[in-house]
Amino acid sequence: MCAADQTPPPPRLSRAGLAPVHHLEVLDHRGQPRQAAVPGESPLTIKVDGREIVTLMTMGTNPEELALGYLHNQRLLEDIADIESVSVDWGRETVSVATRHGQGIPDLDAKLSRVTVTSGCGQGTLFSCTVDKLYERKLPRVRVRQSTIYQVLREVASLNHIYRQAGSVHGCGLCQGGRVLMYVEDVGRHNAADTIAGRMWLDAISGEDKILYTTGRLTSEIMMKAAFMGIPVLLSKSGLTQMGLELARDMGMVVIGRARGNRFLVFCGGDQVIFDAIPEADSTSP
């Protein structure tokens, strides 16, 4: 086999994740000292072949996957084979993504020409090229069992370790059936979703039979990220925005919100939900 036909090795990752929480002494409501924990938060500037793209505020536990997922979800880079390495330098607060061709992001100036400040935690950004490519995605039409929703909710309840220690974070989970394949917490739900997207991109994980769970609200940007990840089902303990709902309808997504305990609301794709586990107390409720 000639060298040109060989698959490039996966990107080299620096694995420079930070500790998720910091411990300190505080005073309680009685004026007594006690120990508390707060989540970390650090700026991280993404550079591609030396050029700055964006600065994110992150807890920093999975910075390499976060950078890759952000670039992929924004459609700035399309092929994981183009990436040679991802290296984090916390001293400079940068993550440097090196491509194999060394020429940076194609047509970067045009892609950055129009930026939308989104409702993401800490203000997010959305580039025009992201929206332009959104409707190229074709999501599968899937069925979701109520019993599966309950299984996911039970499992994620035991995975929010940082939130239980320190609060002030959001979590996202990639789920298949009732299993949570990976769960990520960060200071913003967008970072958590991008980190999952980065791992999916690295490992060539398909989203077509997956559910994306989030503790945060379902905005249009979260809908876009899920679409680019190829995930047709979103599940949130919070609600959603009108624009998020309109986009989900356009994309044919199943969107379930305000999911707590055995209660939830199906905002979109109700005909694709199989109600196979209606709680007895609620079976005759309107």
pLDDT tens digits, 1-10: 455 557 889 9
157 and 191 part of one domain: yes
List pLDDT tens digits, range 134-166: 877 789 999 999 999 999 999 999 999 999 999
163 and 116 part of one domain: no
128 and 158 part of one domain: no
Q: Which of 107, 134, 161 is the last residue of a domain?
A: 134
Domain membership flag for residue 28? no
129 and 153 part of one domain: no
Which residue range is the domain that position 205 belongs to? 144-282
219 and 116 part of one domain: no
Classify burial at 7, counting beta carbons within 10 Å of its beta carbon; exposed 0-12, middle 13-18, buried 19 or more. Answer: exposed
Q: What phi, psi does 199 have (nearest 5°)?
A: -65, -40
48 and 68 part of one domain: yes
CATH number of residue 119's parent domain: 3.10.20.10
154 and 128 part of one domain: no
127 and 158 part of one domain: no
CATH number of residue 173's parent domain: 3.40.140.10
Domain membership flag for residue 156? yes
Q: What is the pLDDT of residue 125?
A: 56
Q: What is the pLDDT of residue 286?
A: 37
Residues of the chain with pLDDT under 70: 1-5, 113-132, 280-286
153 and 49 part of one domain: no
